[in-house]
Amino acid sequence: MSIRWRVIWGCLTRLIATAGFAAGFAPHAGAELISLRYGQAYSSAHSVYSLPIVVAEREGLFIRAGLDVKTIIPIPGGSDKMIAALHDDWVDVTHVAMPFLIRAALAGSDAVAIDTEFRNSVYSLLANRAIASFVDLKGKLVGLADESGTISISMRKLLAAHGLKRGSFAVKNEEGTPARLNCLRRGECDAVVLGQPQDFEAMAEGYRLLGRSDEVMPKYVYTVTAARKSWAQTHQEAIIRFLRALAASFKFIRDPANRGSVVKTIAEVANTSDAVAAETLDLLVDPRQAMLPDRGEIDLEGVQHVIAMMAEAGTLKAPLPDASRFVDQDYFKAAGLD
């Protein structure tokens, strides 16, 4: 979904909200909508990882929960900029990968996770046609993400499991799956790590799938919605409404009756074909993968696995912190979702 479309959609949903409330449509009829600014990285805004938020927008789930989510604010830069956006008062809540929240909290931020947007994310290692196996990647250039994030951590584990230790291949850091796919298409990268739907696109174009992150990763929490404790304490109702809307979004995505609508949304947001979008949705709702939370619940064991992975990658040192330090589940309970 382009930024221009988000602006148009934001205006339309606010008009719908006005009419809906006048007719007693929403549960919070008669009350004013609570405004909320939601932050997201450019790379995430055009990937499947924006799906729960986009569905909540398009299907009026935020409005029904009594919430006016301002046009999603794309934050320049990568995931490491998302928590800074909270502190700079650009946004009220933000989409962020769990390792970056952990790193910011250990550096003094009061940001905490209030729900899970994606868990057990699956990333694929795609190579050009000249690469027949992992062995062929020795001395080649591999496109990875930020070294501190679970994407690169999982890929390095996968590569190591196939005999490719650190230093046996060159690395180019590219932020965002679309950028890494372009690196592969231009021939600059010999292999890259891709999320959905770009991994399915690359396979359809003839690139070779070498392996996937779920071969080496335990269950974990990939991305969350984070808020500052100091802000959340004075805006509890806004958070409760947000969590209820997201829970409704996860339910909508899983409902077979909504398959056509969700496929179209994935195709438009990620600029891909309906066929690739359908493959992506099948992966997302596959219970064996458990990529989506049921209602947005935060699995503390999954967070602890992220902490362990960060330690294994050398970005955290003992004694390792407890997962509960980075999570506030009180709002989830207050929303009646536990």
Which residues, 6+ apart, have CB-to-CB distance to 88 below 8 Å? none
The answer on 85 and 60 residing in a single domain is: yes
Given 215, 245, 264, the domain boundary residue is 215
What is the arithmetic mean of pLDDT over 1-30?
38
**pLDDT bracket for residue 20 (50, 70, 90):** very low
DSSP-derived pairing of the beta strands 170-173 and 111-119: unpaired
The answer on 144 and 64 residing in a single domain is: no
DSSP 143: E
Buried/exposed 100-122: b ≥16 CB within 10 Å, e otherwise: bbbbbbeeebbbbbbbbbbbbbb
DSSP-derived pairing of the beta strands 191-194 and 73-75: unpaired
The answer on 189 and 141 residing in a single domain is: yes
Distance CA 254, CA 48 (A): 14
The answer on 320 and 257 residing in a single domain is: yes
Which residues, 6+ apart, have CB-to-CB distance to 319 below 8 Å? none
What tokens appear for 124 in the block?
């694929």
pLDDT at residue 175 is higher than 90: no
Which residues, 6+ apart, have CB-to-CB distance to 15 below 8 Å? none
Sheet (strand 208-212) strand order: 170-173, 141-144, 191-194, 124-127, 208-212
Domain of residue 314 covers: 3-119+221-334
The answer on 177 and 79 residing in a single domain is: no
The answer on 7 and 115 residing in a single domain is: yes
Angle between helices 274-285 and 259-270 (to 10 degrees): 120
What secondary structure does DSSP assign to 46-74, as a single string? TSGGGHHHHHHHHTTHHHHTTEEE-S-EE
Number of domains in the chain: 2
Is 124:199 a contact under the CB 8 Å cutoff? Answer: yes
Report pTM. Answer: 0.84
Distance CA 122, CA 42 (A): 20
The answer on 132 and 46 residing in a single domain is: no
What is the arithmetic mean of pLDDT over 83-106?
95
The answer on 135 and 95 residing in a single domain is: no
What tokens appear for 12 in the block?
């339309």
What is the arithmetic mean of pLDDT over 308-334?
94
Among 248, 247, 238, 244, which residue's Cα sits nearest to residue 36?
A: 238
Given 196, 215, 234, the domain boundary residue is 215
Q: pLDDT above 70 covers what percent of the chain? A: 89
The answer on 186 and 226 residing in a single domain is: no
Is 82:49 a contact under the CB 8 Å cutoff? Answer: no
Q: How many CB atoms lie within 10 A of CB 167?
A: 7
pLDDT at residue 163 is higher than 70: yes
Q: What pLDDT, on a 0 to 100 scale, did the predictor assign at position 44?
A: 82
Angle between helices 236-254 and 274-285 (to 10 degrees): 110
Given 195, 215, 235, the domain boundary residue is 215
CATH of the domain at 132: 3.40.190.10
Q: What pLDDT, on a 0 to 100 scale, did the predictor assign at position 73?
A: 76
pLDDT digits (tens, 9 = 90+) for 219-261: 899 999 999 999 999 999 999 999 999 999 999 999 999 999 9
Q: What pLDDT, on a 0 to 100 scale, did the predictor assign at position 78?
A: 64
- Looking at this protein, which amino acid is placed at residue 75? I
DSSP 14: H
The answer on 74 and 13 residing in a single domain is: yes
The mean predicted confidence, pLDDT, of the chain is 89
* 93 vs 146, more confident: 93
The answer on 272 and 183 residing in a single domain is: no
Burial class (CB in 10 A: 0-12, 13-18, 19+), 246: buried
The answer on 233 and 115 residing in a single domain is: yes
